Amino acid sequence: MSKLDPRRIQQALVCMMFDPVYAGVVRGPAPLDELSPRERELLRGVDPRGLATDDMRRARALHVILDEYPVSAALLGVEAVDQYFSSPAFRACVFERGSMALVFGRRYLLGASDKLHGIGAIETAMASARRVDRQRHPGLGSAPGLAPVSVPAGSLAWYQRARARLGPEPLQALTKLRKPWPQKPPRGGREHLLIEAKGDGSLAIGTASAALVGLLIAADPPRPRAELVAAAIELGAEADEADELLDDLIAEGLLIQSEPRAQASVSDRMAFEGA
């Protein structure tokens, strides 16, 4: 007899509420790896009208994404952003209990890298930095609220000009956007950035060395110290100085040791870790 997992049923219901097409697939005959036959049988019995009681659910979630990725949305178009909620990336987010905004940047935007270049990476790093309290793996890793990123040279200045163009109310500007921006972000060279969340909710963005950013990228998610020592050496640190370098970064608050913590319950995380 196939398994019946209440958590998986709940997750599938979330996907069905966001995406009527997926709801039709669940009810149809095509195989679905994420659901057992018994789970699909139960879901087929759900009244379709019950999935549509909140017709603003998807619009509210779209506003969350647009608020955190305004320049990416201007480059892609709002309709392309909305398609996230019908994508395999979104369903993976729900079934893996991830962050809706982070999965948008880390998975969904990968398919648009030819249009976004470094802009999507900058906004994804900003979204990551804002989530200071997100669950972390045990090990030595970059500090919460700190997001390193390497992008094509000139991306930060291009992003700042584009963000200013959207004005103080980017959501309003995006709703009036009839077609995606034709402008292309920079593509050549590399620049290395550190994005840091401040106590007042703002973000500080600055440049850093390739070696430092590379090491902090290697430290997300956290890893055993020995692996970071090896990464530091690969990035150019002297073998007899790599341990001391990590100690310095710990003292500066750029690296911290994370310990295991209890897994959050399903009910605690149904909001996708606060999006």
Going by pLDDT thresholds of 50, 70 and 90, the confidence category of residue 55 is: confident
Where are the chain's structural domains?
A: 6-51, 57-258
Per residue in 241-271, pLDDT (tens digit) is 999 999 999 999 999 998 766 554 444 444 4
C-alpha of 163 from chain center: 19
- Looking at this protein, which amino acid is placed at residue 203? L
Distances (CA, A) of 234 to 149, 213, 248, 260: 18, 13, 18, 28
Q: Supply the pLDDT for residue 40.
A: 93
Does position 275 have pLDDT exceeding 90, yes or no? no
Per residue in 115-129, pLDDT (tens digit) is 999 999 999 999 999
- Residue 172 has phi, psi (to 5 degrees) of -65, -40
Q: Supply the pLDDT for residue 2.
A: 67
Instruction: State percent of the chain over pLDDT 90.
Output: 82
Going by pLDDT thresholds of 50, 70 and 90, the confidence category of residue 208 is: very high
Distances (CA, A) of 132 to 64, 124, 253: 17, 14, 14
45-54, 87-96, 174-183: least confidently modelled range:
45-54
